[in-house]
Amino acid sequence: MISDTWYLFHKYMLIAMRMPLWSLFGLIQPLLWLFIFGSLFANFAELPGFPGGSYIDYFLPGVLIMTVLFGSSWSGVSLLREISSGTVDKMLVSPASRSSIVLSRVLHSAVQVVAQALIVLAAAELMGASTSWNPLHILSSLAVVLCLGIAFASVSNGLAIVLQREEPLVVMGNMMTLPLMFFSSAMVPQAFMPQWIQSAAVVNPIQYAVEAVRAVLSGETNWEAFSTGFGITFAFMVITTYWAISAFTSSQE
């Protein structure tokens, strides 16, 4: 399974490198949000009770997680297109592991969003964000991005296998991204949210991923908050990946 996953992952990465513009398109919306919201809500940081630092410092972890959502939530669309074109059927008659067909796509999507996250970090630095560039802090934040990227790519691929149609998958992708962002502390602190949104954030994996990234990228590193957020994000990744693989293997029986 490992060797088959690596082979297919390498194939998808070669395709992505031959068409780099497709990967850059996924950066447009997060970068726009970083620039527009970073400027629009700049004075938000002066409100009583707002955490120290500028608004762009606070918002940057949310933009990194937004990059994951916009980059991974559409992974299942390309799987559906490969199923429609017969590419997956050709893989199924080969000796390749069934799990590797899903794992390779999920890993490919997650690695792409990690590369995009690095570009977002560099753009935020140019905009004046005071990000910690300690290698340990950067690697820790990217570990969260990778796990969440795998998780949402798995959700997208699992839904593609269950739904078997592109239209409802696109609708569910749209319904999944923005509400998850707004039901988290990506844009405003939890203390500023209505009580019902605070309650919804408790079961939102985006909330824990954002707080984990914020815990290591801010000036005052909080490893306890990072460990909690990373642990929940990792568990979410394991559950969703297992579900996507199970959905695919069951559909082939």
For 183-197, the DSSP string reads: TTTTSS-GGGS-HHH
pTM of this prediction exceeds 0.85: yes
Question: Percent of the chain having pLDDT more than 70?
Answer: 96
Query: Per residue in 220-234, pLDDT tens?
Result: 788 999 999 999 999
Contact residues for 19 (Cβ-Cβ < 8 A; gap 6+): none
Cα 252 to chain centroid, rounded: 28
Q: d(Cα 78, Cα 86) in Å, to the nearest integer?
A: 12
Query: Per residue in 79-129, pLDDT tens?
Result: 888 878 777 777 777 777 888 888 988 999 899 899 889 999 998 888 888
Vertex 25 angle, CA 7 and 101, to 5°: 25
Q: d(Cα 178, Cα 39) in Å, to the nearest integer?
A: 20
Identify whether the C-beta of residue 169 lies closer than 8 Å to the C-beta of residue 77: yes
Instruction: Tell me the pLDDT of the chain (253 aa) as tens digits.
Output: 778 888 888 888 887 777 766 667 767 778 888 888 888 888 887 888 788 778 888 899 999 998 898 888 878 888 888 878 777 777 777 777 888 888 988 999 899 899 889 999 998 888 888 887 889 999 999 999 999 999 999 999 888 888 888 778 878 877 788 888 889 988 888 888 899 999 999 999 999 999 999 999 876 788 999 999 999 999 999 999 999 999 888 876 6
Reported as half-sphere exposure (CB side, CA atoms, 13 A), residue 247 has a value of 20
Q: Using CA of residue 227, residue 229, residue 232, residue 237, what is the dihedral sign?
A: negative
List the structure tokens of 13.
Answer: 């990465």
Q: d(Cα 142, Cα 230) in Å, to the nearest integer?
A: 11
Give the residue among 21, 209, 27 at the shortest CA–CA distance from 120: 27
